[in-house]
Structure 1
Amino acid sequence: MAVNCFKCRHFFVTWDPQHPRSCKAYGFKTRELPSIVVRRSSGMECMHFAQKRGEAGK
């Protein structure tokens, strides 16, 4: 199952219009969702996914 970055506490939106999405755990900014970049680069799903607080039942 694909990782949903929007539900991860490491995901955040940047002010950079060229790279609007970022992952604090991996330390990079991108145009795509970070989980897609991680999967394409490593061939594995993101190993740093951590559910946001208050998102467990959703």
Structure 2
Amino acid sequence: MSVNCFQCRHFYVTWDTRHPRGCRAYQFKTKELPSIVVKRSSGMECMNFQPKPREAGKS
């Protein structure tokens, strides 16, 4: 199963319409989810995945 970038603290949305998704850990922007690019280029799941911190008051 692939890493879900939307749940990772390193994932961010960019203003670049050609590369709307980014990864702060690997310092790149892409059209696809960063975890897919990492898997395709290295053959391994993302090693920098860190879950986003939970917001206070949410379960």
TM-score of the alignment, normalized to the shorter chain, above 0.5: yes
TM-score tier by shorter-chain length is over 0.9
Q: How many residues align?
A: 56
Taking structure 2 as the reference length, the TM-score comes to 0.91
Larger radius of gyration, structure 1 or 2? 2
Mapped pair 1:29 → 2:42? no
Taking structure 1 as the reference length, the TM-score comes to 0.92
The unaligned stretches of length 5 or more in structure 1 are: none
Shift of 1:21: 0.1
SS at match of 1:29: strand
The unaligned stretches of length 5 or more in structure 2 are: none
Mapped pair 1:43 → 2:43? yes
User: What is the percent sequence identity of the aligned residues?
Assistant: 71
